[in-house]
A and B are shown apart, each in its own frame.
Chain A
Amino acid sequence: MKARVTVSLKPGVLDPQGRAIHHALEGLGFGQVAEVRVGKVIELEVADGTTEDQVADMARKLLANTVIENFRVELA
């Protein structure tokens, strides 16, 4: 089975990459964008029966830095 961990910067944490992308989008004429935030998606192939809690534990211990990042776990 698959698990997907989506890691995003916490609200309020400055995201210079998002800002640069926002600037480039504006340069392309996409004036409707108010803000861009960059995160990452980590896909794991895990043993059947793996729980959301176990994947959340992986996220807390390594996949996300909870000082600056939030994460969301999805199992599929």
Chain B
Amino acid sequence: MKTAVVVFPGSNCDRDLAVALELVTGQKPAMLWHDDPELPDGLDLIALPGGFSHGDYLRSGAIAARSPIMRAVIRAADKGTPVLGICNGFQVLTESGLLPGALMRNAGLDFVCRDVRLEVVTTDTPFTRAYTPGETITVPVAHHDGNFQADAETLDRLEQQGQVAFRYAEDVNGSARNIAGILNAKGNVLGLMPHPERVVEPAHGGTDGRRLFEGLLSVLA
């Protein structure tokens, strides 16, 4: 399984994501730079890491979403290549238009950094197929702008079409309908605020994130 991690100026979870991908797939991901105009051929997965790309200037993910590599990522996503955005990567995906809605300042205004319980809502996707529907998993969050908002019509559509992948089991940041992660309509783009790459081996204190990568491996390898 050929994977790539996109690194933006200010990304800081790129290494964690690369380590998790290598652990599960057995292959080092290609590390791509925001300024690269093209992607390597034959990628099975493009992953956008967490961090503070471009210092969160303007809006979180706004500048990164307009970088040269994102034009190539959008083209690849349109052709069906799976794209995973975690935390700042999720913000980049909403800012780029690959996912609907927006991630705003946490309702409590605090930076929230702790383990949270998540409900796996949709398992009919390459990202979540290794979980059972309705299962509760524990994954850490670390963000200031994770408050997912969209208009009521968009939220209804996301719920009706099975595009809500993960939901917080409690109110974490004020997100509409406690949404923690969503898919695009085709199901090949997932964005989520929690960090599955931080819980992939027992030494991390949990392994609930590992099955996200294993699920991808089982369909893409």
Contact = CB atoms under 8 A, between A and B. Distances in A.
B188 interface: no
Interface string A14-58: 101100100000000000000000000000000000000000000
A65 B95 contact: yes
B66 A67 contact: no
B108 interface: yes
Given A62-B62, A65-B95, A68-B149, A17 B102 contact: no
B59 interface: yes
A13 interface: yes
Interface string A54-76: 00000001110101100000000
B39 interface: no
A64 B95 CA distance: 10
A16 B58 contact: no
Given A13-B149, A16-B108, A17-B105, A65 B59 contact: yes
Interface in B82-109: 94-95, 100-102, 104-109
9 contacts: A14-B107, A14-B149, A16-B105, A16-B107, A16-B174, A17-B105, A65-B102, A67-B100, A67-B150
Interface of A: 13-14, 16-17, 20, 61-63, 65, 67-68
